[in-house]
Chain A
Amino acid sequence: MAPSNPQWPNPRPAAAHRTLGESLRRNGVSRRGFLKFCAATASMMALPPSMAPAIAQALERARRPSVIWLSFQECTGCTESLTRSFSPTVENLILDTISLDYHHTLQAAAGEAAEHARETAMRENAGEYLVVVDGSLPGLGANPGYSTIAGISNYDMLMDTVADAAAVIAVGTCAAFGGLPKADPNPSGAVAVQDLVKDKPVINVSGCPPLPMVITGVLAQYLTFGKLPELDEYNRPLAFFGQSIHDRCYRRPFYDKGLFAETFDDEGATKGWCLYRLGCKGPMTYNACATMKWNGGTSWPVEAGAPCLGCSEPDFWDAGGFYDALSVPPGNTGDTLMMAGVVGAAAGIGAGLAGRKLAKSAGSDHKTVTVDELEQKL
C-alpha cells in the first residue's frame, strides 16, 4: 500500500461537519419533500407512519457518515444505477450528503491522491465509517493479479479498509453473492464480500443492479437508528427483500387465472398476461422492483414485458436459461433420458434373453430319477 503523504490536502470538505438537515436545506429540499421521504422510508421499513417524524428528527441531527466505496470485479452498473436519476430526488441528496470520501468512478482525485483520500478517511473516522463494496474479488486461493487497484490486490484493500469500519454494505449481486465473475467456470476464483469479511456486519444489497432506493433506505435506517436493519438468510434487509416479485407482481392475477404469454408477440404478451412461461423467475426472486419500480417509479422489467431474471438471487447466472420457465431444469434432460434408456433397454434385453434361455434349457437340464434311486435317498 502506498504510504500516506502528509502533503496531500485533507479531502474532506467543511461540509462534512454539517448535519444532514442543514445540507438538505442548503440543497433546496423543502421540509415537505423531506418529510415525504421520511414517511416513505418508514413504510419501506415496515414501521408505523407515526415513526416518520422521529425518522425526520434523527436524520436532521445525523452527522454525515464517512463512506468509502470500493469497486472490485464489477461493471459499474451499480454506480450507474445509483447516480442515474431524472431529477435531484431526496434519495440523491441523501447520497450527496453522506461523505463519500473514496469512489473510483465519482471522485475527481486519481492515483496516489485517491488512495490518500481513502487512508485519511479511514484514519479520521476509525470505527465509524461505512464501507460500500461493489464487485466480487479473487478469493484467498486465487491469483490476486486478476484484479488490483494501485498495485494493491482487491483482497488486501478490502481487509485493510474493513478492519476499522463500522459495517460493510455489499452493493450489487457481485459483491453480495459473487455474481457474474463467480458464474461457472469462475476463472478468477471470485468470491463475495461475506465470504471474506467475518468479523464485521455485512449487509447485502443484491440486484444487478440494485434499486437506488434500497441503498439510500439502508443508509437512512443506519442514520436514524444508529443500527443496521433486520436481515434475511442472505443478509439482505428484510424491509426490501422480504417479499417475492411474484407476490407483489401486478401481473399475478393472470398467473392465478392461468393466462400466460407464450411468446413475446402473441395475444398474451400484448394483453400483459403472466410471463411465467417465458422464463420469469419472479416466484423465486426476492426484491422490491414490483413495488418501488425503476427510473423514479416509471416502470420495471416485468411491466416492460421482460420476464424477471432473478438478478437479486445468488448464482442466478447459473440457474438455468433466462427464457426457460422456472420449472425447467438446467442441463439436457433429453440426452440423459436417451443414454439411460439405451442402458435400460440393453439390461432389459439381456434379462429377457437370460430368462428365455433358462426356460428353454429347463427341459434338457431336467434329470429323471427312478423309484429305486428315490428310495435309496430316503
Chain B
Amino acid sequence: MTSMDFLMLTKGPLFQLAVAIFAIGMLARMIEIFALGRAHNYAAPRGSAMAGGLRTMYKRFHTDPGTFKAAPFDVVVGTIWHIGFIVALLLFIPHVELIKSTFGIAWPALPNPVVDAVTAITILGLLAALVHRLSHPVKRFLSTTEDYLIWGVTFLVMLTGYLAYNRLINPYPLALGIHILAAEIFLIVLPFTKLTHIFTAFVARYYNGAIFGRKGVQS
C-alpha cells in the first residue's frame, strides 16, 4: 500500500465508517438519557428549573475556590489543554473547511501559526497531565485502563496533527492519513468511553442546576 492509498482509505471509507459509528453511538446514548425522562416532582416550584439549569451549565466553567486550592495543577493544566483542544478542533482552517463541507456552516478561523502554537501548548499540557497522573499516588490509584486509553486517543490526535502541519513525517499523504486515522479512532471511541463527557457534561450540569433552580436554591 502506498502512502496515497493509505490517505484515500482514511479519507474515504474509514472516515465514513467512523462518522457513522460516532453518530449512531452518540445519538443513541443522548436520546436514551432524554427518553428516560425525570421523575415527576409534585412539589410547587419556587423558581425556574430551566433558568437554573442554563445558569449552572455556564457557571460550572468557573472553578470554585475550594477546588482550585485543593488541586491547582488540575484546574490550570486541565483548562489550558481543554481550551487548546477546542481551538485546534474548531478554529483551524482545514477543520473549518471539513465542517463546512459536512454541515454547510462555517465560521472565521485563526491564522495557522496561532493554531500551531496552541497545539504545541496543548500537547505539553496533555504530557504534564499524564506525568501528574502517574506520579500522584491518589490519582494513580484511581486511574483505570480506560483513563489511559482516552488520554492516548486524545494525545494521538493532537500529536499527529502537529506532525502533519509541520510536515515532520514524509511523505505528506502518510502524515495526513495518520492524523485522519487518529481522529477516526477518537470518533469511534468517543461514544463508548468517558469521552462522552464532551456532550453529557452539559446534560448533567443542566439537570443539576434545574433541580436546584426549581427549589429556588443557588447551585
A336 vs B111: C-alpha distance when bound (angstroms)? 30
User: Closest approach, in angstroms, between the C-beta of B203 and any C-beta of chain A?
Assistant: 13
- Chain B positions within 8 Å of A353 at CB level: 35
A325 vs B110: C-alpha distance when bound (angstroms)? 17
Interface of chain B, main secondary structure: helix
In the complex, B24 has a CB within 8 A of chain A: yes
A164 vs B201: C-alpha distance when bound (angstroms)? 71
Are B37 and A333 interface neighbours, CB within 8 A? no
CB within 8 Å: A-B pair count: 153
In the complex, A377 has a CB within 8 A of chain B: no
Nearest residue in A to B112 (C-beta to C-beta)? A258
Nearest residue in A to B176 (C-beta to C-beta)? A284
Are A256 and B113 interface neighbours, CB within 8 A? yes
Interface of chain A, main secondary structure: helix
A194 vs B90: C-alpha distance when bound (angstroms)? 42
**Segment from B11-19, B50-58, B66-74, B117-125 that makes contact with A:** B11-19
**Segment from B1-9, B76-84, B135-143 that makes contact with A:** B1-9
User: Closest approach, in angstroms, between the C-beta of A193 and any C-beta of chain B?
Assistant: 16
In the complex, A163 has a CB within 8 A of chain B: no
- Chain B positions within 8 Å of A340 at CB level: 19-24, 27
**Segment from A3-11, A66-74, A343-351 that makes contact with B:** A343-351
Query: Number of B residues contacting the other chain (C-beta, 8 Å)?
Result: 49
Nearest residue in A to B94 (C-beta to C-beta)? A327
Produce 1/0 per residue, A78-115, CB < 8 A to B.
00000000000000000000000000000000000000
Are B15 and A313 interface neighbours, CB within 8 A? no
Q: Which of B61-117 contact A (CB under 8 A)?
A: 93-95, 97-98, 101-104, 109-114
**With A341-B23, A348-B27 as contacts: A258 and B176 at CB distance below 8 Å:** no
Are A314 and B4 interface neighbours, CB within 8 A? yes
- Chain A positions within 8 Å of B16 at CB level: 329, 331, 333, 336
In the complex, A222 has a CB within 8 A of chain B: no
Are B24 and A314 interface neighbours, CB within 8 A? no
From B4, B7, B19, B32, give the contact of A352 (CB < 8 A).
B32
Are B26 and A344 interface neighbours, CB within 8 A? yes
User: Closest approach, in angstroms, between the C-beta of A356 and any C-beta of chain B?
Assistant: 6
Q: Which of A282-316 contact B (CB under 8 A)?
A: 283-284, 286, 313-315
Are A344 and B23 interface neighbours, CB within 8 A? yes
Are A347 and B24 interface neighbours, CB within 8 A? yes
- Chain A positions within 8 Å of B47 at CB level: none
A325 vs B7: C-alpha distance when bound (angstroms)? 14
In the complex, A366 has a CB within 8 A of chain B: no
Produce 1/0 per residue, B147-179, CB < 8 A to A.
000000000000000000001000111001000
Are A255 and B12 interface neighbours, CB within 8 A? no
Are A258 and B98 interface neighbours, CB within 8 A? no
Produce 1/0 per residue, A336-378, CB < 8 A to B.
1101110111011101110110000000000000000000000
Produce 1/0 per residue, A34-53, CB < 8 A to B.
00000000000000000000
Most buried by B among A247, A318, A326: A326
Nearest residue in A to B98 (C-beta to C-beta)? A327
In the complex, A272 has a CB within 8 A of chain B: no
- Chain A positions within 8 Å of B28 at CB level: 344-345, 347-348, 351
Are A234 and B36 interface neighbours, CB within 8 A? no
Are A313 and B4 interface neighbours, CB within 8 A? yes
User: Closest approach, in angstroms, between the C-beta of B20 and any C-beta of chain A?
Assistant: 4
- Chain A positions within 8 Å of B36 at CB level: 352, 355-356
- Chain A positions within 8 Å of B97 at CB level: 277, 324-325, 327-328
- Chain A positions within 8 Å of B176 at CB level: 283-284, 326
- Chain B positions within 8 Å of A283 at CB level: 167, 172, 176
From B8, B15, B35, B112, give the contact of A348 (CB < 8 A).
B35
Are B172 and A314 interface neighbours, CB within 8 A? no
A355 vs B34: C-alpha distance when bound (angstroms)? 11
Are B23 and A355 interface neighbours, CB within 8 A? no
Most buried by B among A260, A276, A277, A327: A327
In the complex, B198 has a CB within 8 A of chain A: no
- Chain A positions within 8 Å of B131 at CB level: none
- Chain A positions within 8 Å of B15 at CB level: 329, 331, 333
**With A313-B4, A314-B2 as contacts: A349 and B35 at CB distance below 8 Å:** yes
Seen from chain A, the residues whose Cβ lies within 8 Å of a Cβ on chain B are 232-234, 244, 246-247, 255-260, 276-277, 283-284, 286, 313-315, 318-320, 324-331, 333-334, 336-337, 339-341, 343-345, 347-349, 351-353, 355-356
6 CB contacts below 8 A, A to B, read A246-B172, A284-B4, A329-B16, A333-B101, A351-B32, A355-B32
Return the 8 tightest CB-CB contacts between A and B, nearest first: A352-B35, A258-B111, A348-B31, A344-B27, A327-B94, A340-B23, A325-B97, A344-B24
